[in-house]
Amino acid sequence: MLTQPDSLLKYIEDASGLRLPDGHFIDGGFRAPRAGRSMQSEDPGRGEAFADFARGDADDVADAVASSRQAFNTVWLRTPPAERGRILARTADLIRRNTERLAIAECLDSGKPIAEARGDVSGAARTFEYYAGACDKLEGHVFPLPSEYVGYSQFEPVGVTAHIIPWNFPISTAARGMAPALAAGCTVVAKPAEQTPFTGLLLAELLVEAGLPAGVCNVVTGTGIEVGAPLVAHTGIDHVTFTGSVATGTSVMHACAENVTRSVMELGGKSPVVVLNDCDFDSAIANVAGAIFEHAGQICSAGSRLVIEAGIHDRFVEALGKKASSISLGHGLRSPGMGPVNSALQRDKVLGFLDRARERGAEFVCGGHASTDPETGKGYFVEPTIVADRQADDELVQEEIFGPVLTVQKADDAEHALHLANCTRFGLVAGVFTGNFSRAHQLARDVDAGQVYINEYFAGGVEVPFGGNKQSGFGREKGLEGLKSYCKVKSIAARIG
């Protein structure tokens, strides 16, 4: 049954009405790639290419970095902080006014349901709004030196910043890096993922429409090897913000080491959701389902491990299985309960985990197979899947699957739950569901994660710093903490007699 107005569904067949850009965004406008090459973006909801975009290379990267350097030295460094704030605030407004175009582009490019895409666009606007207000509040310190001295510090922008963006949250991740970088006075060269090039380009265009001077934000599209690698290795880059896999993050860190370039690494996760016997049962069910099935589990902070106390284990897993089985699948523009995974590659990677688990004798509470859009029989879908109690050393417990797959771990009590929660090499986020205030905060204190959600998974907003411990990375984005990544502290001491 079609529940969407035709105005949305027409884009499943023909996305040309979105007027998606086919060039890089360099020096304030769209520009053809030097080598004249292009590549195609797929709509994972039907497994077909739907638009061409520029396939860049090191020459395009060099143009973008030169443009960002020039804009940093001659314009942005001299733009008063309050004016930077006004431009970012206008950008937030423009993002909101362009919600539908951005959300449809995001939905087709990434596969995510249109409601989630609209939420991401609204979050991107909020991110610009938040950092708009911070531009003129970057205050330094005065140091308590003896009276014949004056000592103070000031924040300076680090310079030209590179942003490597993944395909799971294209506009959110772009905004989360660009907004604080621009607020701090840095210029930007962004590289969207090759699976999802469009909203990063559209965002750069909106920034210029909002008054951002040419060259302050450049976007180069193409593959990780052809564009990402030369960008992070470029000697003109002062800082790299990377979001993606641990393996690629490691190679980016090597490149940064060569030039002593600063970096923030947002890598993978295998985040636990600890549910204790005394939780609010219905609320915990809804949250655990949302934590893993939103964007088909392709979220670095997805709650991919349910650590459940023995007393409610059976009842909880059964109810959760029913809920998961009732989730409808479909193309993102049909407003399904869950959309596809991002590519055939990603689907096959997820299915590989499930096949191996089956061979090890794992019991599936629900799901476990590939699927398609029920209207067209196409697309890269994986059923919402729950795998019953696995040991801590199981691959399903230890590896980031990045799909709609929840692995259950049964805990004897709260102490055992903490032990299981901390049993992986990742430490991005953790969820805790309990009615016991003290126990909630004990777990929050003891769990090894950059962020802890109590009684609501994904609680918080742009105000709350986000980032990982252990192999989930280092550095923090969001919040005022996120601004610091783009600032250098200069200390000044003077003898005044």
Q: How far is the CB of 232 from Mg ion (least distance, A)?
A: 22
Q: How far is the CB of 27 from ligand NAI (least distance, A)?
A: 22
- Whole-number Å distance between alpha carbons of 42 and 314: 41
The CB density around residue 485, as the number of other CB atoms within 10 Å, is: 22
Q: How far is CA 231 from CA 213, 228, 236, 245, 270, in A?
A: 22, 5, 9, 17, 29
- 60 scored as a contact of ligand NAI (CB under 6 A): no
Under the binding rule (CB under 6 A), the answer on residue 398 touching ligand NAI is: no
The answer to whether residue 195 forms part of the interface with Mg ion (CB under 5 A) is: yes
245 touches ligand NAI (CB under 6 A): yes
In whole angstroms, how close is the CB of 43 to Mg ion at the nearest point?
6
Give the residue from 465, 462, 461, 464 showing the smallest Cα distance to 473: 465
Pick the catalytic residue: 266, 309, 383, 400?
266
Among 4, 99, 122, 251, binds ligand NAI (CB under 6 A): 251
Q: Closest approach of Cβ 370 to ligand NAI, in Å? A: 16
Choose one: 164-172, 197-205, 317-325, 360-368; the region binding ligand NAI (CB under 6 A).
164-172
According to CB under 5 A, which residues from 34 to 73 bind Mg ion?
Answer: 41-42
With respect to ligand NAI, which residue has the nearer C-beta, 346 or 434? 346
Contact flag: residue 164 with ligand NAI (CB under 6 A): yes
Q: Indicate which single residue of 63, 129, 194, 238 sits in contact with ligand NAI (rule: CB under 6 A).
A: 194
Signed CA dihedral, 370, 375, 377, 380: sign only: negative
Q: Is 252 in the site for ligand NAI (CB under 6 A)?
A: yes
Q: Quick one: 245 or 259, whose CB is closer to ligand NAI?
A: 245
Asked whether 152 and 140 are in contact (CB, 8 A), the reply is yes
Q: Judged by CB under 5 A, which of 27, 109, 238, 294 binds Mg ion?
A: 109
**Per CB under 6 A, which of residues 253..282 are in contact with ligand NAI?**
267-268
Q: At what angle do helices 99-110 and 170-184 cross, to 10 degrees?
A: 120
User: Please, which residues bridge with residue 364 across strands?
Assistant: 387
Q: Which does 349 bind (CB under 5 to 8 A by kind): ligand NAI, Mg ion, none?
A: ligand NAI
Of 170 and 479, CB closest to ligand NAI: 170
Q: Which does 109 bind (CB under 5 to 8 A by kind): ligand NAI, Mg ion, none?
A: Mg ion
Residue 195 or residue 346: which is nearer to Mg ion going by CB?
195
Torsion of the alpha carbons at 342, 117, 104 and 296, rounded to the nearest 10: 30
Catalytic-residue membership of 266: yes
Binding to ligand NAI (CB under 6 A): which residues in 289-328? 300
- CB contact at 8 A, 278 and 437: no
**What tokens appear for 425 in the block?**
């090499």
Instruction: State the catalytic residue, choosing from 300, 366, 423, 487.
Output: 300
Q: Which of 317, 263, 254 lies closest to 285, judged by CA?
A: 317
Is 116 one of the catalytic residues?
no
Residue 267 or 276: the one with the smaller Cβ distance to ligand NAI is 267
Determine phi and psi for 101, rounding to 5 degrees.
Answer: -60, -45
- The residues that are catalytic are 266, 300
Contacting positions for ligand NAI (CB under 6 A): 164-168, 191, 193-194, 223-225, 228-229, 232, 243-245, 248, 251-252, 267-268, 300, 346, 349, 400, 402
Contacting positions for Mg ion (CB under 5 A): 41-42, 109, 195
